[in-house]
Chain A
Amino acid sequence: MIDEGLRSELSKQGVFTTTVGELYNWGRKNSIWPLNFGLACCAIEMIAASMARFDISRFGSEVFRPSPRQADLMIVAGTVTKKMAPQVVRLYNQMPEPKYVIAMGACAISGGPFKQGYNVLKGIDRYLPVDVHIPGCPPRPEALLHALITLQEKIAGQKLTGPERAPHLQEEAPSEYPIPDYGAYDLDPPKNPDVWQPPVLARKD
């Protein structure tokens, strides 16, 4: 391992040094292919982000894949109804490793304006490990681009080896999450406790 000082000294002399892990992450973070699906109004902003004006292709993510087999990133753009939630989880399960999730908009992160609705899931993070949350109703395309850059930074920081390495490199880390069933009143189970725990409210006396 080469230390940082020598490295910057070398780069001043015009010698570029890198590691396999950095090269690997550099390739991955600049070619994040999203899965091509939208659930509600937020998807319109996602579509706008992929068009010429906001031009998501500047970040290497314009290749929206219609098949989960070819996608790296799931952008949950819109309201996740309880009817749709099992399908979203199944699509996530079918994506190959490494895979990431961006929850876009108030609905996808918490149920948003429909939070009181009996048929709306209060955030996709109850079933899936979300990497980046974007607030807003709807978030502007710039916000999606910002989330993408945040995700790129996260990918760039992932380790290739060691106990801290990225989850997709760990044998024991799950690649599939349980798909909820339609229960009598709610999804069954209503959340995946391995992924999401309700916040504990502590009242100050």
Chain B
Amino acid sequence: MPADGHPYLFLALFAGAAVVFCLSLLGLARLWAMLVSPAKPGPTKNAPYECSLASQGDAWVQFRSAYYLYAIIFLVFDVETVFLLPFAVAFTHLSVGAFVAMMVFLLLLVEGLVWAWRKGALAWH
């Protein structure tokens, strides 16, 4: 690297070399296909499924909307885990104030869960 060059010059060179490298490989493959090895697509070959049985029905199946309640309640546990792990790691160094704050936070989350439970969201209708 010359001392007077721009500090990011090598990045530009690197990006350029990377692009040229990829393009030349793709070009070589294309050249090979043109000169010796012709592409032979076909209806079965291009079919998306590979299990060798033709697909049946529609991929646009519908799920019951009742699942969204579970998704929301899952968030309670999700958020709880995200905060509980750092809490557990730092537990021995925490001040009383931080501990109380954490407990209040947990209480809020549990309250949400209890509320959803009371509302009957955990029962399958």
Contacts and interface: CB of A to CB of B under 8 A. Distances in A.
Interface in B17-68: 36-38, 40, 42-45, 47, 50, 52-53
Interface in A79-94: 87-88, 90-91, 93-94
A175 B45 contact: yes
A170 B40 CA distance: 10
Contacts of A87: 52-53
Contacts, number: 39
A4 interface: no
Contacts of A171: 38
Interface residues of B, number: 12
A44 interface: no
25 contacts: A67-B50, A68-B50, A68-B52, A69-B50, A87-B53, A90-B44, A90-B52, A91-B52, A93-B42, A93-B44, A93-B45, A94-B44, A94-B45, A94-B47, A94-B50, A94-B52, A96-B45, A160-B36, A168-B40, A169-B38, A175-B45, A176-B40, A176-B42, A176-B43, A176-B44
Interface of B: 36-38, 40, 42-45, 47, 50, 52-53
